Chains A and B, each alone.
Chain A
Amino acid sequence: MMLARTVRIAVVVAILGLVVTLALAFRRDPHDIRTGTIGKPAPAFTLERLDGSGKVALADLSGKVVVMNFFASWCLPCTQENPALVRVYERYRASDVVMLGVNYQESRDSGFAYVRRMGMGWTTVADDDGRVAFSYGVFGPPETFFIGSDGIIAGRHIGPIDEETLVTAIEKLRGQAASR
């Protein structure tokens, strides 16, 4: 009798634990996985521009809101998200927001041809050996990181991003910068 009651209680506790775990897991946005780099200073880097016109260092963009997008021409979701990136770039190109495209696992020729074909007017750089992607914890393109004017990674988006998500994240960071 006592054993049966204990077993019943244990089963109820186990089911409750499972429900709570699943509820917490489903609440998380799979595009916003909180890996080690979120809330920490953005790893420094210096990369060559895809058009061969010199180098870009993250330190050069200090004090600005940086939208850093990892992309590749062989990545179909990158092509899907590109119109949103172009619209957001046009919207903020005269502001304190900098968009930076990081070409991932690709030859510079094909990367640059893709940039011209897709109308990407923002600065694009080549991460030839993937070191910058690894330092940011990139799983694969497309991934977008939002870096505040304080140099801290405020958020990331895994997979193709839309205009609303981009604008919301940028405006949040601009608001934080203005209140400092």
Chain B
Amino acid sequence: MNGRVVIALALVALAAALLFAARPPEVTADERIDQITAELRCPVCQGLSVKDSTSETARQMRDLVAQRVREGKSNSEIEAEFRAAYGDWIFLSPPVASWSGLVWFVPIAVLAAGLLLVSGRLRRVEAPGPVEPSAPQVAALRERVAREEAAEG
């Protein structure tokens, strides 16, 4: 068999294997319900997700999520329904693209500003500015220059 054909077949097989490995994993309806309810905040609890809470409210919310999954709604559609009623508060992790997303960016920005401040300060400490010669040094230099000019004639 021609070498090029073998290489081409090998590349095709590699691409197929990569595509197969990269395909999204199959998610069951129960797993989707768990994913969504783990992100939703239980309105009557202290920092508990709908998935983890045993309250009646959380049970009813899980039932609602399960019904929406059965109806064929996507995760984002179900989350949008709760966001419309409760705002971003209903999510245990604030969405990045919102005012509450500042929670993610502010610490990073403060850290970066601090690093810039410290590195700038260190650079100034390591590289001191030029030092002016003292008056006796200047006088000695002038005398040396005058001597050399006199010697040259």
A105 to B63, alpha carbons, bound, how many Å? 14
* A37: nearest chain-B partner, CB-CB: B85
Closest to B43 in A: A139
Q: Per-residue CB proximity of B43-87 to A under 8 Å, as 1/0?
A: 110000000000011001101100000000000000000111111
Q: What residue in chain A is nearest B89 (Cβ atoms)?
A: A35
A134-B60, A134-B82 given; A140·B87 CB < 8 A: no
A37 to B83, CA, bound (A): 9
B19: interface (CB < 8 Å): no
Our pick among B85, B87, B121 for the contact of A3 (Cβ within 8 Å) is B121
Q: How far is the CB of B122 from chain A (nearest CB, A)?
A: 10
Provide the bound-state CA to CA distance between A37 and B81, in Å. 11
Interface size bracket, A side: 10 to 19
Whether A137 lies near B60 (C-beta < 8 A) is no
Chain A 1-31 near chain B by CB (<8 Å), digits 1 or 0:
0110010000000000000000000000000
* CB contact list, A113-140 vs B, under 8 A: 129-131, 134-140
Q: Which residues of B contact A3 (CB under 8 A)?
A: 117, 121
CB distance from A126 to the nearest CB of B (A): 13
Q: How far is the CA of A67 from the CA of B82 in the complex (A)?
A: 23
* Chain B contact residues, majority secondary structure: helix
Shortest Cβ distance from A140 into B: residue: B44
Q: Once the chains bind, are B57 and A130 in contact (CB under 8 Å)?
A: yes
A84 to B84, CA, bound (A): 30
Query: Known interface pairs A131-B64, A139-B44. Does A105 touch B87 (Cβ–Cβ under 8 Å)?
Result: no
Question: In the bound complex, how far is the Cα of B89 from the Cα of A105, in angstroms?
Answer: 22
Choose from B43, B60, B85, B124 the contact partner of A36 (Cβ within 8 Å).
B85
Instruction: For the complex, give the distance between the alpha carbons of A92 and B41 in Å.
Output: 38
CB distance from B127 to the nearest CB of A (A): 14
State whether A36 touches B86 (Cβ < 8 A): yes
Contacts of B86 in A (CB 8 A): 35-36, 137
Chain A positions 127-170 with a Cβ under 8 Å from a chain B Cβ: 129-131, 134-140
- What residues of chain A lie closer than 8 Å to B117, measured between beta carbons? 3, 6
Give every chain B residue within 8 A of A129 (Cβ-Cβ).
Answer: 60, 63-64
Interface 1/0s, chain B 24-49, versus A by CB < 8 A?
00000000000000000001100000
A-B contact pairs, 13 of them (CB 8 A): A36-B83, A36-B85, A43-B85, A105-B57, A105-B60, A129-B60, A130-B57, A130-B64, A131-B64, A134-B61, A134-B64, A135-B85, A137-B86
State the B residues within 8 Å of A (CB): 43-44, 56-57, 60-61, 63-64, 82-87, 89, 117, 121, 124
Extra A-B contacts (15), CB below 8 Å, given A3-B121, A105-B56: A3-B117, A6-B117, A36-B83, A36-B84, A36-B87, A43-B85, A105-B60, A130-B60, A131-B64, A134-B61, A134-B85, A135-B85, A136-B85, A139-B43, A139-B44
